[in-house]
Structure 1
Amino acid sequence: MAGDLLQRSNGKEVIFIDKGIDDWQSLADGVPHGAEIVTLDPARDGLEQMAEWAAGREGYSAIHILSHGSAGQVQIGSASLNNNTLASYSEALAQIGQSLSEDGDILLYGCEVASDQTGVDFIGKLAQATEADIAASDDLTGADGKGGDWMLEQQVGEIQTQTLAEGQYQHVLAAPADQDFTDIPPHMFYLLPHAFGGAEGLIFSASPESYAEFYITDEMTSFTAGNAARFWVDAGPTGIGSSYIEFSSVDPDGSGPETKPLFALNQLAAGYSQFTFLSTYEVSGWAEGSKVVSVDVDLAHAGNYGTDASSGITYTKSAQDHGVYSGGTLIFGDAWTNIDTVRFTVSDMMYPQVELLLDTIDFSEPVSNSAPTITDIPSDLTVTEDTVSDLDLSAAIFADAEDDELTVTLSVDSGTFSEPADGASNGVTATKVSDTQITLAGSASAINTYLDTASNIQYTGAQNVSGDNAALLTISVTDAGGNALAENVTVNLDITDVNEAPTYTGSGLNPTFIELDEGNINWQNLAFLFSDNAFETIEAGQEIIQVTLTVSNVSGASDEVLAIKNGPASAIKMPLINGQTDTVTTDALNFSYAVSVDDQNVATVIIDSADTAEIWNFYADNLFYANLSDNPVAGDRVVTITSVKDDGGTDNGGVDTGSTNIASTVTIKAVNNAPTGSVTITGTAEKGATLTASNDLADSDGLGTVSYQWLRDGVEITEATGTTYVLTQADVGTAISVRASYVDELGTAEAVTSSATDTVANVNNAPTGSVTITGTAKQGETLTANNDLADEDGMGDIISYQWLRDGEVIEDAIGDTYTLTQADVGAEISVRASYTDELGTAEAVTSSATDTVANVNDAPTGSVTITGTAKQGATLTANNDLKDADGMGDIISYQWLR
């Protein structure tokens, strides 16, 4: 049914299964592990059970209800919910609705709940009462072989929940409806067998090989109302023996009586023909083809028929006997609750003829197997603290009406069970499931016999727990049918106190006690002895009455004390001298103590005070060691809390004293003496110089090995730990000092720092690298200056250039390039790079000179002219205004040309 429910749903869903439906266990078994399933007791109001579950729950997306149903009605436990009863269940329905989320669904799986307009109206009203969306079936729900399915065809609101489907369930969720034959037309004859009412109806049958019929009559009688059915069965072909008429719930697929729905028969009206001599019938109830119960009833005489009330029938005969038929009402006992067929049989050796009138057949849901019971359980059992004790349940009486196999579960909320005694000889399987749970499986009588031996079940309470109602034993019982006690039984476990030894836990602080200045206690630096102190009496209500301590290596002098601080600058001092005793009474403290010292110089201090553990924790928190001497005896003192005693006594084997042995070692240390002398530095405070550290230190506590750490403006210089230090560029502009450190012979770290030097002066560093010229040393060519200069003092921001001709400055030649002119021909060119370093020093570097600058010829300028008249005999004169950048030379010669 719900085999894949959890995989389909993202919300919380709950499945209610009415244990009154056939084979309900197979439905429950189909639910995967972890799914929330709630079974409903068919003998109790199912809606009340659901409301109890819903209290305090919320956020569920769906509620599935697997129970019987019929048109316009759903049966939940002993409650019938329909249009007429909705109002009376308004509070329960509202409670159930509140457990759902805003879009929550309620799914009703009962057969034919919404099969007609009454049913449709019913689920609509149910939706209003619960404020939920409702889905219900309009046909048979259950096995398809019986005409059923798992579809919920009628809905109110939007159903978001996947309906369940159970392929293994072999039944339908329907039971016979009450039958009064009202809807059958009167004066009609029917041959048997014949069925009425569909899946929730009845099938009427008669004994084999007989002629049988029934007739719907509306003849008025004093014991029928409206229509009734008259059954007639002849004696069969032989006319000898017995004949019967029976009705049973419908078997939808005809597979046999084992698949018919069960029912409980409450009552019916029956009558016999006064014109026959046969009025006595064997009335029998059958289930799955077997007779379950039978009673002989004479319809001519009223009375209680049967051997007991459970299987019996109460017959009330009508006072009116006129007419053809006489009869009355038959009311059936509890044994008629799980049957599928009712048979009326007559026996007559001559002519066993049936002539029977039936009406108003009243059914209800089948009743599940009776729950087991338990009586005479004691309200309290007594056991002994921290002791394996018998749980004496010999007075208890377990019972089961059907004598089913029982499983008894014993659970305790604290403490542990021992392994139970073997119950095989009693027919009981005893299993220790866990330390807090034991199960006993067997018949009720076998379990009763097993528990008659009180030692078969033994229990030990939780450690150090005692008192009335100190633990709770819960007893639950289920039978083979899955029925449980109406309510689990609880038994108080009273645990008799046995005093446990008190305990103390704490941690030794292992303090150092430093020699006092003129015997004055240093309240800011006390040698507290213990922390995380926790005294415990184990049993509630007890007090610690005594604590014992020891102190080793004591001097025996009165100035050596243990003390309890009781104020910012005050304490109760307990001198560690033999025979010392005192009683201390203040507003906050009230105790006495006694001191004894043995020949091993071990002092034993016994402190007596009837106080709670919290007060003793205060004592221990504030306990310290002090030595008021200016010269305490050397050596450690070991202070040990050795034992603690409570006021619980030793009755019943109790123990009132516990050993503890929590120790704290006090290291005695003299006051430190500061070193004398000084640390000095020699050497010049300028870059590149070496400084040397020296000292004339002395220490009355003993001078250890001295190490040095050089400091630049008070900050440690990495890896500068020798006696000498060479000043670097990083030190320029700072003051240098040195710290001498050592550990004196009493273990104190000491350090003395020298005075600082003057500010470290810089020493200029010449630049490195060179200046070079690229280009051809020829008139008209361009030369370029380059450099790869570096300066430890910093290069500064700007490098400027000055070009030189034969070492002399060339005017306005200050760029990083220079074009050679006629003036440079025959000369050597160089360039000087200049800058100011970051420490303010002007620096200059000159390149190497070029080769001699070669000339490149320059064409002359000006012209040559002729004066005179160009005629024969005239004289022409040559003139010129020529110039030459390379120089004109001394002689100009002419050549005339024609």
Structure 2
Amino acid sequence: MGYQNSTFIIPQTTRYASNQNASNQNASNHYVSACTEVHCPGIFDIFFQQSLRPPSLPNTLVVIDANVLHIEQLIKGVNPGNKVIVLDPNQDGISQITTCLAHEPTISQLHIISHGAPGLIQLGNNILSLSTISDYSQYLKRWFSNCPTSPAIALYGCNVAAGDAGAEFIETLHCLTGANISASTTITGHISVGGNWELDATIGDHTPQIAFNQKLITHYPAHFPITFSEDFEASLNLPSGWETTLDGPNAFNPVIEVFLVVDSNEVIIFASNSSDEDVDADLFSPTIQIPDTYSVLSFTHSYEWEPGFDGVALFASTDDVNFTEITELGGVFLSGAYDDTVDTGGILDGLEAWTGGDFSEETVVIVLPDNLLGEGVQFDWYVETDGFGAINPDFDAGSYFLDNVSVLTAPTVTSITRGLTQPTE
């Protein structure tokens, strides 16, 4: 097949959306059919092309997140002699990289190709950002702990190093890993989408080396952005563009509040209603320009409501006026689907919603319907109670916690889960 790299490919655990770029699916099938199965404990079952083993142990690892486009083209374009892995999109990416590096002691150069935004990158089923990087510190510190030479990390995600958030992110990554860092403050990818392959932000005494050949750089047709991301980090107020409303006969008796909890960096919609009338509240996102290709909305949440009588549902609008529940528009849950129908006596009456619950955190992933692609979309997390003893006034019940809202373009159908997976060595 002409490839000069040692290549790891995830097997059939990756599922592809039917309307996605066929080259990604073909890449997986092509390599699986030509490979001999081996195991790398703690990551996933992988396939190794023995005939492509480099003549000496590689010192460069190229990590490709499965959510980027045209994976086969990227693999073909990697410079000779490098090892390539494609992350399992259903597992934590940091954990996968940590385990792989533990089994590859000669690696000193790490190139990560993934979607990005200022101060964050997507890796597998999670996002590494300023608000989550401390959770991974024990893993990041081990990446090059036994490296005999000066290590370096190159991040190819769009705009990762842009702005104050980007600068702080790569500095923190440098401190935790001890590696020289190079990343982009602009769009990474083809010139037709305003991109380039210049990793113009660096930390450490090194000159960034691109892992791809000139043919790939010239002809790769896509780029690596996260369309939208909000982690509600360190603010006393809702971020710009986020709005709340309050309604219902007893909306102020007492009050539903929407506010930011600074210590956990998440929005809490807190309902305290002891009356016999319904109360409802909305948390509106800014208008988000959705890409015109396959896109998903993901967020983490936790909640506790009176089962079957109070809850939250997600609505969307392209005109900021007429809102429709997301599944009625054609959205499909990949994870974190509604719990049950609710009897609220209001808008949610008879609809499915997030109801009941025990404050366990979960990640919701929704494939956005075709009629929202290419549109400016506003999302509405809509809360409704029936007012019959639904809310415990001690703050620990009748609440909805929202965090880590992202919109991204992804060729694979992922099952995203929150939390860290312990690497195996």
Provide TM-score, normalisation by structure 2.
0.50
1: CA distance, partners of 2:413 / 2:103? 30
User: How big is the shift at 1:70?
Assistant: 1.3
Q: Is the 8 A contact 2:116 2:122 kept in 1?
A: yes
User: How big is the shift at 1:48?
Assistant: 0.7
**Structure-2 residue corresponding to 1:20:** 67
> Gaps (5+ residues) in structure 1?
187-220, 232-246, 251-256, 287-296, 306-313, 318-330, 346-355, 372-898
**Structure-1 residue corresponding to 2:290:** 249
Secondary structure of 1:177's partner? strand
Q: 1:62 aligns with which of 90, 96, 109?
A: 109
Task: Call closer, same or farther: CA 1:34–1:283 in 2, change over 3 Å.
Answer: same
**Structure-2 residue corresponding to 1:175:** 226
Q: 1:362 aligns with which of 405, 415, 419?
A: 405
**Structure-2 residue corresponding to 1:223:** 281
Q: 2:315 aligns with which of 270, 284, 292?
A: 270
Alignment of 1:787-826 (within 5 A): none
For the pair shown, which has the larger CA radius of gyration, 1 or 2? 1
Q: Is the 8 A contact 2:5 2:81 kept in 1?
A: no
> Gaps (5+ residues) in structure 2?
7-53, 233-237, 244-278, 301-312, 333-340, 357-361, 382-401, 415-425
Secondary structure of 1:362's partner? strand
Q: Percent identity?
A: 22
User: How big is the shift at 1:13?
Assistant: 1.0
The letter of the residue matching 2:405 is D
Q: Is the 8 A contact 1:135 1:153 kept in 2?
A: yes
Task: Call closer, same or farther: CA 1:99–1:173 in 2, change over 3 Å.
Answer: farther
Q: Is the 8 A contact 1:110 1:141 kept in 2?
A: yes
User: How big is the shift at 1:109?
Assistant: 0.8
Q: CA-atom RMSD, angstroms? A: 4.6
Q: 2:367 aligns with which of 337, 346, 366?
A: 337
Q: Which has the higher strand share?
A: 1
Task: Call closer, same or farther: CA 1:155–1:270 in 2, change over 3 Å.
Answer: same
Task: Call closer, same or farther: CA 1:172–1:100 in 2, change over 3 Å.
Answer: farther
User: How big is the shift at 1:83?
Assistant: 2.5
State the Cα deviation string for residues 575-613 of structure 1 (Å, max 9, x = none): xxxxxxxxxxxxxxxxxxxxxxxxxxxxxxxxxxxxxxx
Secondary structure of 1:112's partner? coil
Secondary structure of 1:95's partner? coil
Secondary structure of 2:330's partner? strand
Q: Is the 8 A contact 1:48 1:92 kept in 2?
A: yes
Q: Is the 8 A contact 2:170 2:181 kept in 1?
A: yes
State the Cα deviation string for residues 286-336 of structure 1 (Å, max 9, x = none): 9xxxxxxxxxx998224555xxxxxxxx4669xxxxxxxxxxxxx9976x3
Q: Is the 8 A contact 2:67 2:412 kept in 1?
A: no
The letter of the residue matching 2:143 is I
Task: Call closer, same or farther: CA 1:34–1:261 in 2, change over 3 Å.
Answer: farther
Secondary structure of 1:15's partner? strand
Q: Is the 8 A contact 1:171 1:261 kept in 2?
A: no
1: CA distance, partners of 2:296 / 2:66? 13
1: CA distance, partners of 2:174 / 2:139? 13
Q: Which has the higher contact order (CA 8 A, sep 6+)?
A: 2
User: How big is the shift at 1:265?
Assistant: 4.7
Q: Does 1:283 align with 2:334?
A: no
Task: Call closer, same or farther: CA 1:228–1:28 in 2, change over 3 Å.
Answer: closer
**Structure-1 residue corresponding to 2:160:** 113
Secondary structure of 2:142's partner? helix
Q: 1:95 aligns with which of 142, 152, 161?
A: 142
State the Cα deviation string for residues 818-843 of structure 1 (Å, max 9, x = none): xxxxxxxxxxxxxxxxxxxxxxxxxx
2: CA distance, partners of 1:363 / 1:161? 29
**Structure-1 residue corresponding to 2:92:** 45
Provide TM-score, normalisation by structure 1.
0.26
Task: Call closer, same or farther: CA 1:160–1:261 in 2, change over 3 Å.
Answer: farther
Q: 2:348 aligns with which of 301, 304, 322?
A: 301
2: CA distance, partners of 1:304 / 1:42? 31
The letter of the residue matching 2:89 is P
2: CA distance, partners of 1:278 / 1:262? 19
1: CA distance, partners of 2:71 / 2:104? 25
Q: Does 1:74 align with 2:74?
A: no
Alignment of 1:647-796 (within 5 A): none
Task: Call closer, same or farther: CA 1:264–1:169 in 2, change over 3 Å.
Answer: farther
1: CA distance, partners of 2:135 / 2:64? 23
User: How big is the shift at 1:24?
Assistant: 2.4
Secondary structure of 1:47's partner? helix
Secondary structure of 2:72's partner? helix
2: CA distance, partners of 1:357 / 1:337? 14
Q: Is the 8 A contact 1:74 1:80 kept in 2?
A: yes
Secondary structure of 1:283's partner? coil
Task: Call closer, same or farther: CA 1:370–1:116 in 2, change over 3 Å.
Answer: closer
**Structure-2 residue corresponding to 1:136:** 183
State the Cα deviation string for residues 809-864 of structure 1 (Å, max 9, x = none): xxxxxxxxxxxxxxxxxxxxxxxxxxxxxxxxxxxxxxxxxxxxxxxxxxxxxxxx
Secondary structure of 1:142's partner? coil
Q: 1:83 aligns with which of 130, 149, 158?
A: 130
Q: Is the 8 A contact 2:186 2:195 kept in 1?
A: yes
2: CA distance, partners of 1:14 / 1:4? 13
Q: Is the 8 A contact 2:316 2:323 kept in 1?
A: no
Q: Is the 8 A contact 1:71 1:116 kept in 2?
A: yes
Q: Is the 8 A contact 1:65 1:108 kept in 2?
A: yes
Task: Call closer, same or farther: CA 1:264–1:28 in 2, change over 3 Å.
Answer: farther
User: How big is the shift at 1:67?
Assistant: 0.8
1: CA distance, partners of 2:122 / 2:61? 18
Q: Is the 8 A contact 1:338 1:366 kept in 2?
A: no
**Structure-2 residue corresponding to 1:199:** none
Alignment of 1:344-423 (within 5 A): 358=380, 362-363=405-406, 365=408, 369=412
